[in-house]
Amino acid sequence: MKDRAKSLRRFVSRSSLCALALVSLSSVAIAVSIDSEGTTHVAGFDMPFSDLASSAAQASFIDWQKRPLALFNLPPATPIAEMRRLMDEQYFNPLAAKQRAAYRVNIESTTIAGIETQVFSPKDGISKENAHRILINIHGGAFMMGARTETQIEAIPLSATMRIKIVSPDYRMGPEHHFPAASEDIAAVYRELLKSYKSSEIAIFGCSAGGVITGEAMAWFQRMGLPNPSSIGIFCAHTQSRMGDSAYTAPRFGSVTSGIPPIPSKWPPPDSAHFDFPRGLSYFEGANPNDPLVCPSASQAVMSKFPPTLLIVGSRDVMASGASRTQIELAKAGVDAQLYSWDGMDHNFMADPDLPESKEAYQLMSRFFKEHFEKARAR
């Protein structure tokens, strides 16, 4: 009887909590209206930081709001060299320094296929299982910056966590160069590595612009007749020409990308033959968003030939909706595609080694690439 009484008290207690939650939810009055085209109009409301995220992530989020990136407030005619300098100074270099302090990695410079490349290897030594494996990192930076800076933010933690060699090419960027320059450079480096490694011993990953280029590179490899790598990672990015809900929600929830205006809902039109991008993304000047070499999701046939793909994103990333749709399309096409989303996290949240979410992400990356190296070897 006593045990039954205890169980009843626990049930009542839990039921009360559920009832309290329902009452709390029902008491939240948010003025919402939906027009004839389905556009939702929401009055001002308070958005608390996610209670599923860590306290460190919350503190980091608050800190970033105090020092927004000056890059978003520069005059349109600002020289690209000045834009790169500011971004390195305010964002990339401080985070790269934190990664170097957090992880023991050697960094060297070399040239592969005529392309300047940084090489990362763990100071504790490459693991025995990864002695003849290698990762290619395609750095982020809005297709116009990040060489040798954003590169370190992405490659250092994974090299140390996975105990593997990583090469990161300084691919050609905008505004000096245009699509498909980056795809050509990544293919050139990959082709050169294939002289020393089997395709099953290579994996490719990138974050933000680098994640987009990773997807584009897979379509380019198909066009060039190159074999697939063992697997790829598309982080804080996707393969879509459209952006979805997150293009509207993330900038309004304090994203580090808040300076980027929300993309119009009807952009680009289905018959659009070019990207009408601002100067910051002029790398795509003249490109066709319906070309699968630009947006692989434009072709199910192209997507069906992708290697196993890992997608990582934060719920407050402008790329969140597109990443979700990319995973669905790959899964429908029969590709092993895994998506992990961290609630409350922003674009490129893995850049800060102090966040528990960052450590979780790199552990998952390491496990995914190792698993698919093994599967590729067994085939």
Give residue-wise pLDDT tens across range 285-330: 888 888 999 999 999 999 999 999 999 999 999 999 999 999 999 9
Give the number of C-alpha atoms closer than 13 A to the C-alpha of residue 356, restricted to the C-beta side. Answer: 10
Q: Supply the pLDDT for residue 265.
A: 47
Token digits for 155? 């490659």
Closest CA to 105 of 149, 138, 140, 152: 152
User: 277 to each of 135, 245, 262, how far by Cα in Å?
Assistant: 31, 19, 12
Phi, psi torsion values for 156, nearest 5 degrees: -60, -55
Q: Supply the pLDDT for residue 13.
A: 45
Least confident among 166-180, 199-213, 268-282, 295-309? 268-282
- Using alpha carbons only, how large is the chain's radius of gyration in Å? 22
Domains of the chain with CATH codes: 70-378 (3.40.50.1820)
Tell me the pLDDT tens digit for each residue of 31-53.
Answer: 888 888 888 888 888 889 999 99
- CA 31/CA 26 separation, integer angstroms: 13
Reported pTM: 0.88
Q: Supply the pLDDT for residue 40.
A: 82
Three-class SS state of 165? strand
Residue of 71 and 126 predicted with greater confidence: 126
Q: Distance between terminal CA atoms of the chain?
A: 60
- CA 87/CA 234 separation, integer angstroms: 22
- CA 152/CA 92 separation, integer angstroms: 9
